[in-house]
Amino acid sequence: MPSPDDTPRPPLDDAAAWHVLAPLLGPYLPWSTGAMRPAGLVTVLNDVWFRTPELVLELGSGVSTVVVARLLRQLGTGRLLAVEHDESWAHRVQRQLDREGLADVAGVVRAPLRPHEGAWGDTHWYDEVALSTAVDEAGRPIEVLVVDGPPAWQPGAEHARYPALGSLAGRLAAGARIVLDDIERAGETDVLARWQREHPVVFDVDTAAGVAVGIWPVN
């Protein structure tokens, strides 16, 4: 069967994505404007389904965390770590995972935002000790990286997600998929352009899904 890496895929809009997501939308989840768009989430789920990754790292947590965990449960393999800076929200997401019996396939990593030497401007990044410890304890490289945090919508925080590749490059598996959400915003477009100048990875932008997807080099 062709893989998503070598097969052209037509854009999937949000309305069509809802139909694709239907089997994984069991217990109610509070979808909001802060959640990943349905078409973007389908992009992530497709990568998980095709790759059956041992480790998925999601920066930011929420509806997508629970839905990806449900798919991992169906597949019977892999683990998801979702990094969250907001303690109250982290508790809510972890509680939902616990309610659905998904704690063995997914967990929320608490990592407050702090000044970071690799930040762009005065933005903050996840606590490096908490982030690196969680990934190292997983004992495997990241095969799917979803960059949907920290929050970058407020003025002055537009480039908050820039440190993601610099911070995690050494922990990415060869051929890892990297998904940057909210690519319709100017800040994420800036981040994407700078990543492509500084790292050996080229991204495809899916405007219909609101994400950019790149593949970490094999060599």
Is residue 130 over pLDDT 50? Answer: yes
Q: pLDDT band for position 39 (50/70/90)?
A: confident
Please report, rounded to a whole number, the percentage of residues in the chain having pLDDT higher than 70. 84
Mean pLDDT over the full length of the chain: 88
- Distance, in Å, from the CA atom of 53 to the CA atom of 55, rounded to the nearest integer, reads 5
Q: How many CB atoms are closer than 10 A to CB 93?
A: 23
Is the bond into 151 cis (omega within 30 degrees of 0)? no
Is residue 2 over pLDDT 50? Answer: no
- Distance, in Å, from the CA atom of 82 to the CA atom of 146, rounded to the nearest integer, reads 9
pTM above 0.85, yes or no: yes
Q: Examine residue 174 and state whether it is found in any structural domain, yes or no.
A: yes
* pLDDT tens sequence across 61-114: 999 999 999 999 999 999 999 999 999 999 999 999 999 999 999 999 999 999
14-28, 106-120, 151-165: the lowest-pLDDT one: 14-28
Q: What is the pLDDT of residue 61?
A: 95
Q: Examine residue 62 and state whether it is found in any structural domain, yes or no.
A: yes
Q: What is the pLDDT of residue 6?
A: 45
- Distance, in Å, from the CA atom of 202 to the CA atom of 204, rounded to the nearest integer, reads 7
Please tell me the total count of domains within the chain: 1
Q: Examine residue 1 and state whether it is found in any structural domain, yes or no.
A: no
Q: Examine residue 20 and state whether it is found in any structural domain, yes or no.
A: no
Domain around 203: 38-81+91-215
* Torsion sign over Cα 5, 63, 181, 217: negative
CATH code for the domain of 118: 3.40.50.150
Q: Examine residue 180 and state whether it is found in any structural domain, yes or no.
A: yes
